[in-house]
A = this chain, B = another copy of it.
C-alpha cells in the first residue's frame, strides 16, 4: 500500500463486498515499477500484450475488426481509502473523483488502446499505461469506433 502524502485525507472505507470480479487475463507491459509507468498511455506508445485466460478466448471472436479497444484492468497495488489526494505532478489537492489516479475506492483503470493484432489468445496493443502483470477485467470495442472497420459478414 502506498504512503499517504501531506494534506491527503483518508476515510474508514467499508469492506468491499457488494460485487465480485473474476480476472479474465493479464497485461504484459515494459513497466515493472510504478515510477516507470507513463501517466497516460499514448496511442503510439510501445507494443504491449494482453493475454486472455480460458474459458474466455472464444469471446475474442470479431474483435480484430476494431481499430481501438477499451481495456479495463484492476489496479491491485492501490490503496482504496483516500478522498482527497495530493498528486506529485499537480499543484494543490483534488478529490479522488476529479483525478484519474490509481488510488480510488474501486481501483479500476480504463484506457483506449490501439489494436495492432490478435494472435490466438493474445492481443497486441499500443496505448497502455499500466504495470507489467496487471490483471485484466474487461475488453470492449471503443465507443467512438463502435462501428467495425469492415462490415461483418452477413
Given the known A-B contacts A90-B152, A94-B61, A141-B98, are A24 and B105 also in contact in the complex, defined by CB atoms under 8 Å? yes
Nearest-CB distance from A67 to chain B (Å)? 12
Question: What total of chain A residues lie within 8 Å of the partner, measured CB to CB?
Answer: 64
- Complex CA gap A60/B83 in Å reads 8
Q: Which residues from B are CB-within-8-Å of A154?
A: 91-92
Residue A153 is within 8 A (CB to CB) of chain B in the complex: yes
Nearest-CB distance from A77 to chain B (Å)? 12
Residue A1 is within 8 A (CB to CB) of chain B in the complex: no
- Complex CA gap A90/B70 in Å reads 20
Contact B108 A137 (CB under 8 A): yes
Residue A100 is within 8 A (CB to CB) of chain B in the complex: yes
Given contacts A60-B95, A61-B94, A97-B139, 17 further A-B pairs with CB under 8 A are A12-B55, A13-B55, A15-B22, A16-B21, A18-B23, A19-B23, A20-B20, A22-B106, A56-B105, A61-B95, A62-B99, A69-B97, A97-B140, A98-B141, A99-B140, A100-B143, A104-B138
